[in-house]
Amino acid sequence: MLSKPIGPTGFYSLSSTTGTHTATSFASYQGDVGGTGAGQVIPPKAVRVAVSGQPAVINFGNNKTASNNSDLLMPPGTVEHFKLDSTLVTTFQLVGNGSNGWISITPVA
């Protein structure tokens, strides 16, 4: 699937501690948000998540902790697109033990 980046990519090393990324748009991605006038930065509606080296679990939502027992598993070497319905926050965590695992999260159109 082709996707157009509309904001900065978060690139993180995976660990057993939950990490957090908040998706934002570039300042040039502007429009009329909620009918309040043009020139506002439009929030992202989707993210592209890529994992390499080690598996990760991801979760979408504020004040959440990614869990090996209940969240989305991302095997290493995979890329997925997810719609952001009610939050801009993605949490992530390494599955099990390991090193050299990475995750990137990019807001896309």
Domain boundaries, the chain: 10-108
Please tell me whether residue 109 adopts helix, strand or coil conformation.
Answer: coil
* Cβ proximity of 95 and 56 under 8 Å: yes
User: With DSSP H G I counted as helix, E B as strand and the rest as coil, what are the percentages for the chain, rounded to 5?
Assistant: 0, 45, 55
What's the burial of 64, exposed, middle or buried (CB within 10 Å: 0-12/13-18/19+)? middle
Residue type, 10: G
**Residue 58 · residue 71 · CB < 8 Å:** yes
**How many whole angstroms separate alpha carbon 38 and alpha carbon 53?**
43
pLDDT value, residue 1: 61
List the CATH code of the domain at 10-108. Answer: 2.60.120
Q: Please list the ranges in the chain whose pLDDT falls under 70.
A: 1-2, 62
